[in-house]
Amino acid sequence: MRSYLDHASTSPTRPSAVTALTAWFTAQPPAADPARLHHEGLVARVALEEAREQTAALLGARPREVVFTSGATESIAMATYGALGRDPARRHVVLSAVEHSAVRDWAARGEATEVGVDRFGRVDPDELLGAVRSDTALVHLQWVNHEVGTIQPVDEVVTACRERGVLVHVDAAQAVGRVPVDLSASGADLVSVSGHKFGAPPGTGVLLVRRGLRLPPLLVGGDQERARRAGMENVPALVGLGAAAAELASTVDHEIDRVTGLGDRVRAWVDAEADLSVLGDPQHRSGHLVCVGIEGIEPQPVLLGLDQHGVAVHSGSSCSSEALEPSPVLEAMGADASHSLRISLGWSSTDADVDRLLEVLPGVLDGLRAMRRDPA
């Protein structure tokens, strides 16, 4: 048996999603283009719109606000491109220094102001809002940080930006299923969501576009998704997304409590260790993610040692290279950017997984410390 504790990268696909996807591929009549008027096309359209309703219900949104995408990376690109394309005179964006690379790389394509964070990875709303200018088109702010789990002050920033007439994009990839989410209540203009982070099939995602907001599309060539994203929808995978969303909507409170309890066990163990520390905000945080500072030990041998004992975790960003380069998030926090482990839990995590981690991790660390003291 193995213990998979890398849910911040991706969660295993839920059985409900696998069942829905498999049923779609084996159904009669066969799959068809949901834009067609024949029977097969109408069957596909009904399935697609049901998935849209299921997803909207989970997110606290209207179905018409849901634009299906291939994942949060595409949703972020759509949000940024669309916001910058609304007014040629407004080409400036504001973002925090701990945003995901998908946000930072798009911001780097234009004029951007990056705002720092405190030692817990949390942005000061006043500082973020102070960077807004008359030509600012968009403010980016993630809901939950992807490396340390810090929750950002989304509601406060959205309210203030609305008063200033500036659009806000919220990256909610790490938030859905991990913290209570009601995206309509948040008032955000644009929200990106990744399906595979909460157990939907890979290659599925959502961009929520606030009702009444019009954006130029990133992908052109067709009128799919109400002319907001061209190309035939990936109906089978999106049916799986809808099934996963429906399951999560009925279990989300229980899942959050259960996963937070598992994370608390890991945090309590780390707090008792002299050379380890929990990084991130001790109060404003998601319970599913524990970022551990490992003083004086390179993360690569720790990852390999844990893997040999059947435990899968990660170090640094969810989208960092195999070289495990220093984390820009930890650098922005003023923490050691090269020596950390990221342990992340999800819907399939169990007490047995945490038991295995806490059983084998001390031995892996002790062995590496002994090698450091006596390299011969």
Statement: 3-9+252-373 belongs to CATH 3.40.1160.10: no
pLDDT given at position 219: 96
Mean residue pLDDT of the chain comes to 94
pLDDT given at position 29: 74
pLDDT given at position 321: 47
pLDDT digits (tens, 9 = 90+) for 172-207: 999 999 998 887 788 999 999 999 999 999 999 999
Task: Provide the CATH number for the domain formed by 15-248 in this structure.
Answer: 3.40.640.10
Say yes or no to pLDDT of 130 above 70: yes
Is 161 among the catalytic positions?
A: no
> What percentage of the chain reaches a pLDDT higher than 70?
97
Q: What DSSP letter does each residue of 231-253 carry, written as one string?
A: S---HHHHHHHHHHHHHHHHHHH
d(CA 143, CA 152): 5
pLDDT given at position 112: 97
CB 76 within 8 Å of CB 169: yes
pLDDT digits (tens, 9 = 90+) for 151-165: 999 999 999 999 999
Question: Tokens representing 201?
Answer: 């099939």
**48 or 318, higher pLDDT:** 48
Q: What DSSP letter does each residue of 135-155 carry, written as one string?
A: TEEEEEEESB-TTT-BBP-HH
> What percentage of the chain reaches a pLDDT higher than 90?
89
Please tell me whether the peptide bond between 202 and the residue prior to it is cis, using omega within 30 degrees of 0: no
Mean pLDDT in residue range 321-325: 57
Say yes or no to pLDDT of 263 above 50: yes
| Fold agreement between 3-9+252-373 and 15-248 | no
* 310 — pLDDT class (breaks 50, 70, 90): very high
pLDDT given at position 324: 60
* 141 — pLDDT class (breaks 50, 70, 90): very high
Residue closest to 186 by CA, chosen among 216, 135, 152, 217: 152
Please enumerate in sequence order all residues whose Cβ is within 8 A of that of 344, keeping only pairs 6 or more positions apart, or say none: 5, 6, 7, 8, 9, 288, 289, 290, 313, 314
- Beta strand 276-279 pairing with 289-294: antiparallel
pLDDT digits (tens, 9 = 90+) for 77-108: 999 999 999 999 999 999 999 999 999 999 99
pLDDT given at position 320: 47
Name the strand (E) or helix (H) holding 16: helix 15-26
Mean pLDDT in residue range 243-251: 97
pLDDT given at position 89: 93
23, 319, 352, 371: the active-site residue = 319
* 317 — pLDDT class (breaks 50, 70, 90): very low
In 10 A of CB 118, how many CB atoms?
Answer: 14
Say yes or no to pLDDT of 376 above 60: no
Say yes or no to pLDDT of 64 above 60: yes
Residue closest to 10 by CA, chosen among 312, 282, 248, 224: 312
Say yes or no to pLDDT of 375 above 70: no
Torsional sign, CA 118, 122, 127, 130 = positive
- Beta strand 92-96 pairing with 111-115: parallel
pLDDT given at position 371: 82
Number of residues written out for the chain: 376
Say yes or no to pLDDT of 43 above 50: yes
Say yes or no to pLDDT of 274 above 80: yes
The domain limits of the chain are 3-9+252-373, 15-248
Say yes or no to pLDDT of 327 above 50: yes
